[in-house]
């Protein structure tokens, strides 16, 4: 098994999303340009065939003219695959698909474009992984949860690197028994990044050894980027919903407190001021004469 590093550093989802968008836009323009060139070549070839047929008829009138030979088909250009990736991205955006629908569409399209027997989107959940979406054959049921170490993409998730296994018989980093049980002879796993960490992987299964090409590997990586976009969008929607719920709860609490607040404004609490009782007059000390016993005034001494 060979491992290819996706990037020297784990790029953040924002940079992944911008780079992927630019690449897909350029691919779309290139696809349209190549399509126009192909149509022009077909028209020119058809004209050449017609001219050759007319020359043969004029030079040998007794000979029965043969039908023009069919135009040889050229190998499928990778720009067609890039165009399908662009269409998948536009479909997710225009339809405003939720997370489950978006990753299900990604799984279906990547199996088709990569010529695989089956595929799955694996999401990390703590020490386990969950198979969030599957397509095709040789897959586990959607919702299956297992320890990360048991997943076929465990090496991809732990190392944050692309996993390419051309022949499971000669590979010691995947569960060979599980692959044989499911009829998998070769596989690809591309990491899915979110918030600077590995959030999962996109797995592609093949029923024959060395059944994928470098273009299939590149396709798997680009489609893993679409899974990252879906996770980012779902996180934003969850955050907005949380804010909306908090605002609704606050408004509900204020609405319940409104009658009490109105009562406080209309009838302000007034405290009764209690006047202190006047202090009793201080009694002056009474002195009397020692000899006659007559009471003395304050100014008298005897």
DSSP per residue, 43-108: HHHHHHHHHHHHHHHHH-TTSPPPPPPPPPPPPPPHHHHHHHHHHHHHHHHHHT--HHHHHHHHHH
Asked whether 88 and 229 are in contact (CB, 8 A), the reply is: no
Number of residues written out for the chain? 302
- Distance, in Å, from the CA atom of 125 to the CA atom of 118, rounded to the nearest integer, reads 22
Cβ-Cβ contacts under 8 Å for 164 (sequence gap 6 or more) = 1, 2, 3, 4, 188, 212, 217
Question: What is the pLDDT, as a whole number, of residue 17?
Answer: 65
CA-derived radius of gyration, the chain:
42
CA 17 to chain centre: 10
Q: What is the pLDDT of residue 9?
A: 45
> Rounded distance, CA 188 to CA 206, Å?
9
Residue 204 near residue 188 (C-beta atoms within 8 A): yes
Q: Residue 289 phi/psi, 5° resolution? A: -70, 140
54 is written with which tokens? 């007319």
Q: Indicate the domain borders of the chain.
A: 78-240
Measured in degrees and rounded to the nearest 5, phi and psi for residue 287 equal -120, 150
Count CB-CB contacts under 10 A for residue 227: 29
Alpha helices in 115-213 (DSSP H): 154-159, 176-182
Tokens of 157: 């998730």
Could you give the CA distance from residue 89 to residue 133 in angstroms, rounded to a whole number?
A: 17
Whole-prediction pTM value? Answer: 0.59
Task: Give phi and psi for 296, each to the nearest 5.
Answer: -100, 140
Q: Which fold has domain 78-240?
A: Beta-Lactamase (3.30.450)
The SS3 assignment for 201 reads strand
Q: Are strands 162-165 and 145-147 parallel, antiparallel or unpaired?
A: unpaired
pLDDT means over runs of 10, the chain (302 residues) = 47 58 68 64 59 55 42 58 92 91 96 95 95 95 95 95 93 89 95 93 96 94 94 82 72 73 63 55 64 71 65
pLDDT of residue 235: 83
Cβ atoms of 45 and 71 within 8 Å: the answer is yes
CA distances to 42, 100, 174 from 122, in Å:
44, 12, 15
């Amino acid at each position: 098994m060979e491992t290819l590093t996706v990037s020297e550093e784990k790029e953040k989802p924002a940079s992944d999303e911008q780079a992927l968008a630019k690449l897909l836009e350029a691919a779309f323009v290139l696809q349209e340009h190549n399509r126009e060139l192909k149509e022009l070549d077909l028209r020119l070839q058809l004209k050449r065939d017609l001219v050759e047929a007319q020359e043969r008829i004029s030079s040998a009138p007794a000979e029965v003219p043969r039908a023009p030979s069919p135009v040889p088909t050229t190998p499928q250009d990778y720009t067609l695959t890039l165009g399908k990736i662009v269409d998948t991205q536009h479909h997710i955006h225009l339809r405003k698909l939720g997370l489950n629908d978006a990753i299900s569409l990604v799984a279906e399209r990547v199996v088709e474009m990569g010529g695989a027997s089956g595929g799955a989107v694996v999401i990390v959940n703590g020490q386990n992984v969950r198979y969030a979406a599957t397509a095709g054959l040789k897959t586990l049921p959607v919702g299956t949860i297992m320890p990360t170490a048991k997943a076929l993409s465990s090496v991809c998730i732990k190392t944050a690197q692309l996993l390419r296994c051309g022949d499971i018989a000669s590979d010691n980093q995947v569960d060979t028994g599980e692959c044989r049980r499911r009829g998998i002879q070769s596989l690809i796993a591309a990491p899915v990044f979110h918030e600077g960490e590995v959030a999962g992987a996109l797995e592609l299964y093949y029923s024959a050894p060395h059944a994928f090409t470098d273009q299939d590997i590149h396709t798997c990586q680009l489609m893993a980027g679409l899974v990252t976009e879906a996770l980012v969008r779902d996180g934003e929607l969850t955050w907005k919903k949380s804010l909306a719920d908090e605002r609704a709860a606050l408004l509900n609490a204020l609405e319940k407190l409104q009658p009490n607040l109105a009562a406080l404004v209309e009838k302000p609490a007034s405290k009764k001021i209690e006047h202190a009782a006047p202090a009793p007059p201080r009694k002056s000390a009474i002195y009397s004469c020692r000899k006659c016993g007559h009471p003395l005034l304050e100014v008298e001494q005897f």
